[in-house]
């Protein structure tokens, strides 16, 4: 389930598991650009797939960057920028997102 203004920029696959909630103004992007100014002037880009597991809650105003895998039973706090893979059963928050709490499995 997604809320308002969710953007999925998907020139590579985006996999979203079952029972996920995605908050408003979230960006999930598979597209990135190189650090080199010359390459950016040449309009070069890259893409990497994004995978979101089951039972994930992504709060509002989050950004999920290319190549990230988010595990099962994860909460992404509002405003987080997910730059690296997130394991199962945890809460991540911040810029860049870091684990702030482990969750029990039910």
Nearest alpha-carbon partner for 62 in 45, 72, 50, 46: 50
Report the C-alpha gap between 28 and 26 in whole angstroms: 7
In the DSSP assignment, the letter for residue 86 is B
Q: Is there a catalytic annotation at residue 74?
A: no
Report the C-alpha gap between 90 and 76 in whole angstroms: 9
Catalytic annotation, pick one of 21, 33, 94, 95 = 33
The strands making up 69-70's β-sheet, listed across from edge to edge, are 14-16, 50-52, 69-70
Report the C-alpha gap between 13 and 23 in whole angstroms: 20
What residues are annotated to the active site?
33
């Amino acid at each position: 389930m997604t809320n308002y203004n969710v953007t999925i920029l998907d020139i590579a696959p985006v996999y979203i598991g079952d029972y996920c909630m995605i908050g408003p103004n979230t960006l999930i992007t598979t597209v990135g650009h190189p650090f080199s100014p010359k390459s950016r002037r040449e309009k070069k880009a890259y893409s990497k797939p994004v995978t979101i597991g089951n039972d994930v809650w992504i709060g509002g105003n989050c950004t999920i960057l290319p190549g990230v895998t988010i595990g099962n039973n994860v909460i992404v706090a509002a405003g987080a920028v997910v730059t690296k893979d997130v394991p199962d059963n945890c809460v991540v928050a911040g810029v860049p997102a870091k684990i702030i709490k482990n969750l029990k499995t039910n």
